[in-house]
Amino acid sequence: MIINNRSRIFKSTKFYSGLVGALVAILIIAFYWVAGGTSAKAYKTSWIGNTFGGGEKWVQNQVLDMYVAPDGTVYTNSPWDESGREAGVYKDGDAIARAEDIHGWERSGGIAVTADKKYMYVAMRQGHVDGKNNDYPPPKTTWFCVRRFDLSGKPAPFTNGKGWDKSMLIVSEKNEVSGLAVSDSELYVAIRDENLVRVYDTQTLKEVRSFAAKSPTKIAVDQRKTLWIMQHPKSANSNILRYTKQGDLLPQVINNVPKANAIAVDNQNRLLIADNGQNQQILIYNIKNQPVKVGTFGVTGGVYAGKPGEIGDLKFYGITGVGADASGNIYVNSSGFNQGESTQRVKTGTDIRKFSPSGVMQWRVVGLPFVDNADADPKFDGVHVYTIHDHYVMDYSKSAGKQWNYQGYTLNPFKYPQDIRLRVAHGSVFFRRIQGKPFIYYTDMFGGFLHAYRFNSATDGEVAIPSAMFQGTPTNQDEKVKPDSWPPNQPQIGDWIWQDKNGNGAFDKGEFDASKRDYPYKGGWWVDSKGDVWKTLRIPEGIRHFPLQGLDAKGNPIYTYSSMKKFATPEIIKDIRRIQYFPDTDTMYLSGFTEKYPAAYDDGKAFGSEIIRYDNWSKGNRKERWRIGVPYDTKANPEVLTASMDIAGDYVFFVTVKQAEVYVYNKTTGTFVTKFKPGPEVANESGWIDIPYGIRAFRRANGEYLVFVEEDAKAKVIMYQLPKKIQPMKAS
């Protein structure tokens, strides 16, 4: 047995006094870290899923409104962006600015934005902050605001403005701003849930009038200075109505676009309407007299036309913004599909495209993954890489950040409306080949479930088809599941496994295998190379093994409780957290908290304090080959915690939460090899690791390693490329 605690960051003087040799080793390695760390030549940093690498440039997450100025400047708004680009500004394929200071301190963005020649107007919300009185709302109060910025993104205060910098216009204390538009010197503000449009002077931001409108959302102003106001799509009739500037309802109405989601007026005074239904395209209306549809823009069916899910220049998916500039160029944003309202929406991606009047794409910027990680299809040597929603094709001969090509969007809400990714979008994937067939297994960020997806390229192209699901016992074991709980038809008590027996991707009656209540607090999930599922529960008999029982006639993996095996947690582990088993070598890796190194507090997502390797696991061997103490110091500033691990080739990789540093150990000996962190290609920065499987490692046929790491701050996945033989860390 090899015990290796050299990477541990411990506080106990008793521990140090008892292990002088280990302390010496720690100091030596610490010297290497401080002295120089891993050589720049030892690894390369790259990224997947965002046009820009970071620093001051990144494409924000989940744009829900977009305004295009006559000169082609694009203004956007999002309810939330992890690094504070809720309101972004883009032009000529570049991220040129963002609205400052709209994130944190109970501030967030919104679902409406507009601009004029001088200012940018952003819908936002400001909540109460303890200890902040004059410039913040009182307790239990939220200001739903329009905040004014100059066109460079700096706040533009005004007389009687609210907030600490006097740039906030409080529109309501009950309901969010749902639409914005400017005409001449007037700002129009829609408040959907108050059936009201307020009108303000753009210079003073004093209210000049208001008028009633049923469920108003997006607003567009035509060349005759009349308003086209879209009703909320969930209204009884999703109409687009025409009003005078004074608020008088005019007879013109468009009532044949049930999923209208965005509107704009182009340079020919035509109304552009985003149809976010199954057509997934822009509808073009002549509005000179009675509105008449005169054309469409984009492929009918969007991303699901032709080969379903395959990305194409004119194939849209989840349209949330449309606009046009003075030259007739058209701009479209796709942000995927989600359910929920405002800040409770499932946060998806951003895909802004500019087209010439003839329909040729001019530029595109994207920010796709969020609280998400990538995994490689083992059949194609790392060329095909998948995240929760997206498929990328890689070309490793290209420079950092240019290697990925967005190939497929794997979610289809029209064919599979019960896909759990429409409700829970954060987590990570395990990509597996089972009997030669591709599968994605997906767990959420808290490890509450494991969901399997199959592929059938002949019927569904790039789309991942909901296939099987494991759901653990609820935390409150004494409470039965309510009949109307999601997913439908689930058992009332205990654990269950769902299998899509009829192949329609829905949770139908007769498709559940129920079990008795089990321990509700999960530690981790794992899908091995044979397709067996492993689960850990934080109890002495805490390892569950679900051997794959084959594939059914529809191609779904089969798992049953009758075939489930239970294993005792090795005695050394007092609180098991992660598990990885490799059937080819019968090797088991477990992580958790031990008696010597217990948890400082109860964190359900925590990784543990040690990794332990066991050989000949299936033969009953429970004697550890080696133990690795991982960084764990809850009193450091910032605290040092390990987030997740993965094993590939000759190495064990794990990553820490707040610094996103990757540690590498020799898989055979358990000895420390090196560590590295984000390089200059991504501005030497990363967000926190916020999911339990925030690192994935893959060894290519040439021996080189790919290491994928979640980067939740700036909508991407960091990718490291390492040589065949990773060099031990040396002092510089």
Least confident span in 90-94, 380-384, 475-479, 522-526: 475-479
Strand residue runs (E) in 507-661: 512-514, 522-527, 533-537, 543-546, 565-567, 573-582, 587-594, 610-615, 624-629, 632-633, 640-648, 651-656
Percent of the chain scoring above 90 in pLDDT: 82
- Separation of alpha carbons 29 and 731, rounded Å: 9
| Residue 468 vs residue 10, higher pLDDT | 468
Q: What is the pLDDT of residue 115?
A: 98
Confidence grade of residue 155 (pLDDT, cut at 50, 70, 90): very high
- Separation of alpha carbons 63 and 49, rounded Å: 15
Residue 519 pLDDT > 90, yes or no? no
Residue 5 pLDDT > 50, yes or no? no
- Separation of alpha carbons 447 and 427, rounded Å: 8
Please, which residues have CB within 8 angstroms of residue 163's CB and are 6 or more apart in sequence? 126, 135, 136, 143, 145, 147
The CATH number of 65-367 is 2.120.10.30
pLDDT in tens, 535-559: 999 999 999 999 999 999 999 999 9
Cβ count near 93 (within 10 Å)? 13
Two tokens, residue 650:
């000759």
Cβ count near 184 (within 10 Å)? 9
Percent of the chain scoring above 70 in pLDDT: 91
Q: At 500, is the secondary structure helix, strand, or coil?
A: coil
- Where is mean pLDDT largest: 30-34, 97-101, 488-492? 97-101
Q: List the strands of the sheet with 587-594, edge to edge.
A: 2-4, 624-629, 610-615, 587-594, 573-582
Q: What is the pLDDT of residue 153?
A: 98
Least confident span in 135-139, 290-294, 723-727: 723-727
- Separation of alpha carbons 629 and 29, rounded Å: 14
- Separation of alpha carbons 40 and 371, rounded Å: 27
For residue 15, the surrounding DSSP H or E stretch is helix 13-18
CB 678 within 8 A of CB 689: no
Question: What per-residue string of b and e applies to 589-604 under the rule 16 or more CB within 10 Å gives b?
Answer: bbbbbbebbebbeeee
Residue 17 pLDDT > 60, yes or no? no
β-bridge pairing 74-77 and 88-91: antiparallel
Our CA angle for 605, 449, 303, nearest 5°, is 110
Q: What is the pLDDT of residue 594?
A: 95
Closest CA to 456 of 376, 374, 381, 556: 556
Q: What is the DSSP letter of 62?
A: -
Residue 25 pLDDT > 60, yes or no? no
- Separation of alpha carbons 216 and 189, rounded Å: 9
Phi/psi at 565 (nearest 5 deg)?
Answer: -115, 145
pLDDT in tens, 190-245: 999 999 999 999 999 999 999 999 999 999 999 999 999 999 866 555 799 999 99
The mean pLDDT value for 93-104 works out to 96
- Residue range(s) of every CATH 2.120.10.30 domain in the chain: 65-367
Question: What per-residue string of b and e applies to 521-537 under the rule 16 or more CB within 10 Å gives b?
Answer: ebbbbbbbeebbbbbbb
Residue 476 pLDDT > 80, yes or no? no
Closest CA to 429 of 440, 413, 415: 440
Q: What is the pLDDT of residue 209?
A: 98
Residue 32 pLDDT > 50, yes or no? no
* CA pseudo-torsion sign 404, 410, 414, 417: negative
Q: List the strands of the sheet with 543-546, edge to edge.
A: 522-527, 533-537, 543-546, 565-567
Residue 38 pLDDT > 50, yes or no? no
Cβ count near 172 (within 10 Å)? 18
pLDDT in tens, 266-317: 999 999 999 999 999 999 999 999 999 999 999 999 999 999 999 999 999 9
pLDDT in tens, 101-135: 999 999 999 999 999 999 999 999 999 999 887 89
Residue 31 pLDDT > 50, yes or no? no
Q: What is the pLDDT of residue 447?
A: 86
Cα–Cα distance list, 353 to 93, 118, 653 (Å) = 9, 25, 37
Confidence grade of residue 624 (pLDDT, cut at 50, 70, 90): very high
The mean pLDDT value for 19-36 works out to 34
The mean pLDDT value for 79-106 works out to 96
Strand residue runs (E) in 412-472: 427-434, 437-444, 449-455, 464-471
Query: What do you get for the CA distance between the two ends of the chain, in Å?
Result: 32
Q: At 680, is the secondary structure helix, strand, or coil?
A: helix
Question: What residues form DSSP beta bridges with 664?
Answer: 653, 674
The mean pLDDT value for 377-393 works out to 97
Two tokens, residue 452:
């399997």
Phi/psi at 271 (nearest 5 deg)?
Answer: -90, 125
Strand residue runs (E) in 583-669: 587-594, 610-615, 624-629, 632-633, 640-648, 651-656, 662-666
Tracing tokens 């540093």 back to the chain, one arrives at 661
Strand residue runs (E) in 174-318: 179-183, 186-191, 196-201, 207-212, 216-221, 227-231, 240-243, 249-254, 260-265, 270-275, 281-286, 292-297
Task: Return mean pLDDT, the chain.
Answer: 91
Q: What is the CA radius of gyration of the chain?
A: 27
The mean pLDDT value for 342-351 works out to 66
Q: What is the DSSP letter of 52?
A: S
For residue 376, the surrounding DSSP H or E stretch is strand 375-376
Q: How many residues does the chain have?
A: 732
* CA pseudo-torsion sign 269, 275, 280, 285: negative
Residue 731 pLDDT > 90, yes or no? no
Cβ count near 74 (within 10 Å)? 26
CB 273 within 8 A of CB 240: yes
Long-range contacts, stretch 430-433, CB < 8 angstroms, 24+ apart? 430/375, 430/526, 430/527, 430/693, 431/375, 431/376, 431/377, 431/378, 431/386, 432/378, 432/527, 432/529, 432/531, 433/377, 433/378, 433/379
Q: How far is it between the farthest Cα atoms of the chain? A: 88
Cβ count near 614 (within 10 Å)? 18
Q: What is the pLDDT of residue 134?
A: 80
The mean pLDDT value for 473-477 works out to 73
Confidence grade of residue 28 (pLDDT, cut at 50, 70, 90): very low
